[in-house]
């Protein structure tokens, strides 16, 4: 499923109508019919349905929904939230059809009727404003939005809850709070932002007949879920040997945080790494070796509990190197970091305290011939980019793309909707995971899975998307079957990896 901005959606519309030749009225018919069909799961024939229709094509969708439901014997009334003369074009065509079928349209200026109808309404259809919104919701629609939000009815939004644009970048907005949103043709960016996604309620995409080829032409952003995982995750060959699945190195750990690297190592092995070496201080190795017996260990010198550089550590001998987990922010470790950036001869994954060390080396990352992967959460991303955390949360798509392009890195911006970005601008939002992952250790496990995935036979971008998918799906499986979000531990997520591999292939 593609994720679009308003401009991209209008480009898809334009292509469909003017290049492929499908009439806009038919698209609107398809949208309204698809939504009314799916809405029926929320209703029965005794329900009263009130449709709020605006002036644009979003309102047009509303008139099709009203006609379809009216024609199926539902008790439907439409409240038009703009004067008659504002309803033009395809929306006007569908308004007339609705009237010709016998439907009734009222003005939202008739407050008495509006209030009494809302009192008895079971289902509200919000078709006031869609992705054509500009700025904050204006009166009278802003007042009606407030009334809708106070009502006890089930609120179904058409395309987007009225008040939200498709694009990221907003902070001052007022929106209808939907229980469920049917997004038309493609998912909209605001469905994945921390501040706006809750207004969508549950959601799904409805297909209205846009040519499949128009989406990749207009957008390079998609939602990564089970379908994409199944399509891209490589199968293990029958005669594969351990060397085929990657010879990996993880560098990190400090005496204060020995667990991090242990979890990353376990996750890496569990996710499929063929041969794993853990490079850490002797103190850390003593603490963790019995917890991860499958790994090999390479002691490196330490100072005051922190790793220092070991010039003899041959980072170039490994297929992929992960560095940073549990490493701490001591400047004693800076040289070890530079060593990994300069000599790693394959994908380099940087996480956690690694960001502190990598920041002065960003220009060097840009020169690396092999992929570099950074896995920050919004706070770490803000520090890397010298912007505020609210700024990152407001513009995650744009900031990740700018950063990835500038420094030639892959970025995994972690969060409720983890966003994966490639240096060439491709982006994916991961579809799995739950609040149980908001806990110390989750990031270490993700690093381990990413480390394993980049060594399997798949494109690097797909590898990162699949790593995020497996991480979230493992957490989901555990929460569905044996844990709750409260008690889910990072080590449980490692256990869940097996279930994902067994269940989805």
Ligand X SMILES: NC(=O)C1=CN([C@@H]2O[C@H](COP(=O)(O)OP(=O)(O)OC[C@H]3O[C@@H](n4cnc5c(N)ncnc54)[C@H](O)[C@@H]3O)[C@@H](O)[C@H]2O)[C@@H](O)CC1
Return residues touching ligand X (CB under 6 A).
Answer: 13, 24, 27-28, 31, 54-61, 129-138, 141, 158-159, 184, 208
Q: Residue 83 CB, nearest distance to ligand X (Å)?
A: 11
What the block records as the tokens of 163 is 């008040």
Nearer to ligand X, 86 or 368 (CB): 86
Nearer to ligand X, 208 or 307 (CB): 208
Taking CB under 5 A as the criterion, the residue among 90, 126, 351, 444 binding K ion is: 126
Burial of 252 (0-12, 13-18, 19+ CB in 10 A): buried
Does the annotation flag 400 for ligand binding? no
Taking CB under 5 A as the criterion, the residue among 39, 87, 123, 158 binding K ion is: 158
Q: Is 61 in the site for K ion (CB under 5 A)?
A: no
Contact 408, 371 (CB under 8 A): no
Q: Is 167 in the site for K ion (CB under 5 A)?
A: no
Cα-Cα end-to-end distance for the chain: 20
- Contact region with K ion (CB under 5 A), list: 91-99, 118-126, 186-194, 274-282: 118-126
β-pair type (372-374, 180-184): unpaired
> Across the strands, what pairs with 78?
51, 105
- Count of residues in contact with K ion, rule CB under 5 A: 4
Alpha-carbon span 121 to 109, nearest angstrom: 18
Does the annotation flag 133 for ligand binding? yes
133 binds, among K ion, ligand X, none (CB under 5 to 8 A by kind): ligand X
Q: Is 444 in the site for K ion (CB under 5 A)?
A: no
What the block records as the tokens of 346 is 């394959």
What the block records as the tokens of 337 is 């970091």
Which residue sits closest to K ion, CB atoms considered?
162
What the block records as the tokens of 467 is 């790593």
- Contact region with K ion (CB under 5 A), list: 151-159, 372-380, 402-410, 483-491: 151-159
Angle, CA of 384, 419 and 39, to the nearest 5°? 145
Does the annotation flag 241 for ligand binding? no
Does the annotation flag 132 for ligand binding? yes
126 binds, among K ion, ligand X, none (CB under 5 to 8 A by kind): K ion
Q: Is 162 in the site for K ion (CB under 5 A)?
A: yes
Alpha-carbon span 264 to 262, nearest angstrom: 6
The secondary structure of residue 459, as a DSSP letter, is: -
β-pair type (302-303, 306-307): antiparallel
Alpha-carbon span 396 to 388, nearest angstrom: 12
Q: Residue 159 CB, nearest distance to K ion (Å)?
A: 6
Nearest to 286 by CA among 249, 319, 261: 261
> Residues interacting with K ion, by CB under 5 A?
126, 157-158, 162
Residue list, annotated binding site for K(+): 58, 126, 162
Residue list, annotated binding site for (6S)-NADPHX: 57-61, 130-136, 159, 326, 377, 444
């Amino acid at each position: 499923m593609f994720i679009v901005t308003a401009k991209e959606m209008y480009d898809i519309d334009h292509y469909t109508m003017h290049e492929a030749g499908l009439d806009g009225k038919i698209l609107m018919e398809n949208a309204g019919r698809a939504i009314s069909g799916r809405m029926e799961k929320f209703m029965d024939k005794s329900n009263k349905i009130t449709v709020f229709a605006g002036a644009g094509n979003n309102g047009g969708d509303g008139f099709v929904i009203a006609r379809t439901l009216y024609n199926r014997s539902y008790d439907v009334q439409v409240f038009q939230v703009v004067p008659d003369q504002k309803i033009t074009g395809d929306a006007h065509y569908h308004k007339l059809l609705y009237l010709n079928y016998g439907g009734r349209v009222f003005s939202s200026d008739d407050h008495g009727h509006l209030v009494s109808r809302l009192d008895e309404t079971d289902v509200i259809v919000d078709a006031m404003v869609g992705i054509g919104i500009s700025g904050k919701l204006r009166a009278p629609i802003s007042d009606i939005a407030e009334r809708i939000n106070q009502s006890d009815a089930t609120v179904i939004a058409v395309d987007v809850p009225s008040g939200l644009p498709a694009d990221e970048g907003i902070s001052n907005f007022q929106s209808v709070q939907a229980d469920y949103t049917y997004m038309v043709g493609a998912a909209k960016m605001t469905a994945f932002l921390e501040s706006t996604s809750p207004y969508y309620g549950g959601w799904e995409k409805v297909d209205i007949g846009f040519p499949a080829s128009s989406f990749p032409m207009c957008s390079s952003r998609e939602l990564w879920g089970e379908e994409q995982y199944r399509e891209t995750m490589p199968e293990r060959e029958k005669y594969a040997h351990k060397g085929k699945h990657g010879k990996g190195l993880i560098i990190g750990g400090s005496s204060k945080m020995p667990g991090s690297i242990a979890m990353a190592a376990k996750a890496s092995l569990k996710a499929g790494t063929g041969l794993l070496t853990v490079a850490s201080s002797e103190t850390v190795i003593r603490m963790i070796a019995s917890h991860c017996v499958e790994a090999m260990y390479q002691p490196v010198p330490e100072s005051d509990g922190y790793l220092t550089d070991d010039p003899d550590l041959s980072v170039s001998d490994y297929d992929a190197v992960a560095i940073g987990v549990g490493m701490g922010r001591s400047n004693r470790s800076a040289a070890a970091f530079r060593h990994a950036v300069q000599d790693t001869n394959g994908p380099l994954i940087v996480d956690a305290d690694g960001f502190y060390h990598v920041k002065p080396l960003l220009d060097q990352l840009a020169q690396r011939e092999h992929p570099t992967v950074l896995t920050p959460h919004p706070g770490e991303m803000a520090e890397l980019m010298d912007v505020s955390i609210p700024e990152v949360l407001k513009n995650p798509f744009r900031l990740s793309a700018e950063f990835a392009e500038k420094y030639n890195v892959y970025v995994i911006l972690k969060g409720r909707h983890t966003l994966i970005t490639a240096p060439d601008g491709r982006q994916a939002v991961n579809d799995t995971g739950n609040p149980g992952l908001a806990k110390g250790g989750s990031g270490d496990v993700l690093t381990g899975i990413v480390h394993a995935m980049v060594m399997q036979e798949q494109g690097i971008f797909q590898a990162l998307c699949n790593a995020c998918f497996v991480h979230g799906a493992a957490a989901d499986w555990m929460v569905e079957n044996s844990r709750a979000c409260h008690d889910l531990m990072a080590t449980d997520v490692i256990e869940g990896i097996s279930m994902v591999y067994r269940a989805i292939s």
